[in-house]
Amino acid sequence: MPTWIESITRSRLWRSFFRHGWPDNPLDRSLVMTSNIFFHLHPVKMNRKSLRVTYSFGLGVMVVIVFGILSLTGLLLMFYYTPAIEHAYSNVVRLQTQVPFGQLLRNLHRWGAHLMVILVVLHMARVFYTGAYKPPREFNWVVGVVLLLLTLGASFTGYLLPWDQLAYWAITVGTSVAGYAPLVGSQARLFLLGGPEIGQEALTRFYALHVMLIPAAIVLVTSLHLWRVRKDGGLAANDAD
Amino acid sequence: MAQVPNKVAFPKDGAKTYSLVELVKGAPTVMVEKGPDNTVFSFPVVALLELLLVLGVSALLLLMSLARNAPLEEFANPTLTTDPAKAPWYFMGLQEMLEHGHPTLMAVVLPTVMVLFVMAIPYLDNDRRGSGRWFTSPRGRKLTWNTTLYALLAMPAFILLDNAFPPRELLRGMAPDFIAQFAIPAVVMGLIVAAPVLALRRQRPTMREVMLVLFTMLFVSAIVFTVTGFFFRGPGFRLYWPWDMPGGYSPFDNL
């Protein structure tokens, strides 16, 4: 190791950040994974079988990445958006026409949302067709189905926010489905929309669900999902003979 | 604290220098007879792979965003219905199903059954063997592709036939709504889904193989219904070719 790297990694400043030395030996490569908050989700060593691209296609990791991009772009969009029916639409128009890279920001969020739904579905198909739901991973499969529903919920609640014709009628059609449920149908629709029609109450509720409740649920349930992957022995490819 | 019984299977013998400390059940933890260790250190391999995925996904999304702008129509107008009025694309399968039967059946009963079935899969098929391998076996792979082909033929046929000869129109006044809109579509769809499982019975399928057939039916049918609703439904929610929509309507406007 060059001496200048050594002098950095041995400094008190470096050692206050990182609890490990330069990762060029087995011990420090282990410590990187166990002492780093981003890496500690991963095992120290991984089976080559689970790293094969044609086994998992990296779909689950890609979902996490797209969710990260959506959180970031969503946060930036919040700086320009007011969830009020008299402002929402003009906010979006202003974002697209006057804010630098505003249109690009909205495009990233929109196409990212569609991409996430597609990736989640593909991930589920991959897990099913590789038989990775089998014991001891059966509960994590159920957690995954919950995450699929949360993803659809996140996308659906975001769909109303631009408050244009497309948003209004898509949510009208989508929420009318809830009304078809026997006994509780009309109550469920009323609970979701905060009134008989889609108006300010519906926008307020969808906004709160979209920027807070559903993303928080996704973060929590995803943590459980990833933790269970580790606890259940990593990818199922490890168990295959 | 409970007293440990005095009588033990392996009494400690003062003349010996060893004793049985504990019996370990299950597979040995040492790597004896387990084949060569096939692992690598996660760092830096996994970190680099994940960085590559971050760059790849970001680049893909950026290209998509540069190629096409997110749609924005006029200010929402509750008095002016758009034609067609469509749900977001991932709910178009549901909206397409609503065209073929009673709303309670198509929008509530069947989706609930589907979600519960998907959640129940690992509890129905709880055999650990064959996990971690695509389609589990060559026979599983063949079954999956055959089922895919069957679903790709049966479901569009169901949609087109039901569209041409809708029981709710043909049986109007002759049979109660429950028969025409609930019982008939439920039985027909149930038979279409059950047919490949029944056909498989003579080959004594494993539970995994039954699940492969049922999940493939569900998955491919969901895609067929979503594609039909999204690409082939135009004004008045009637069937058109996607490239031949009247009134300048394009399915892609609804993204």
pLDDT in tens, chain B (255 residues): 455 555 666 666 667 666 666 776 666 555 555 666 788 999 889 999 999 999 999 999 999 999 999 999 999 999 999 889 999 999 999 999 999 999 889 989 999 999 999 999 999 999 988 899 999 999 999 999 999 999 999 999 999 999 999 988 888 888 888 888 899 999 999 999 999 999 999 999 999 999 999 999 999 999 999 999 999 999 999 999 999 898 888 888 888
The top-scoring range by mean pLDDT among A9-18, A106-115, B9-18, B85-94 is A106-115
How far apart CA A108 and CA A103 sit, in angstroms, is: 9
Phi first, then psi: give them for residue B41, nearest 5 degrees: -65, 130
Instruction: Kindly tell me if the per-residue pLDDT of A72 is higher than 50.
Output: yes
CATH homologous superfamily of A49-238: Cytochrome Bc1 Complex; Chain C (1.20.810.10)
A45, closest residue in chain B (CA to CA): B41
Mean pLDDT of all residues in A177-196: 85
Of residues A119 and B171, the one with the higher pLDDT is A119
Of residues A203 and B247, the one with the higher pLDDT is A203
Is A170 in contact with B254 (Cβ distance < 8 A)?
A: yes
Name the residue among B40, B61, B115 with its Cβ closest to that of A48.
B40
Q: Where are the domains of chain A?
A: 49-238
Is A62 in contact with B57 (Cβ distance < 8 A)?
A: yes
Helical spans, DSSP H, in A81-181? 88-97, 102-129, 138-159, 165-178
Residues from chain B contacting residue A133 (CB–CB below 8 Å): 121-122, 125
Is B132 in contact with A236 (Cβ distance < 8 A)?
A: yes
Q: What ipTM is given for this predicted complex? A: 0.92
pLDDT score recorded for residue B26: 65
Q: Number of A:B CB contacts under 8 A?
A: 219
What one-letter code names the amino acid at B127?
D
Is B128 in contact with A130 (Cβ distance < 8 A)?
A: no
Is B42 in contact with A42 (Cβ distance < 8 A)?
A: yes
Q: Does B79 touch chain A (CB under 8 A)?
A: no
pLDDT score recorded for residue B1: 46
Name the residue among A58, A112, A164 with its Cβ closest to that of B72.
A164
Is A39 in contact with B38 (Cβ distance < 8 A)?
A: no
Length of chain B: 255
Question: A45 and B39 in contact (C-beta within 8 Å)?
Answer: yes
Question: A218 and A154 in contact (C-beta within 8 Å)?
Answer: yes
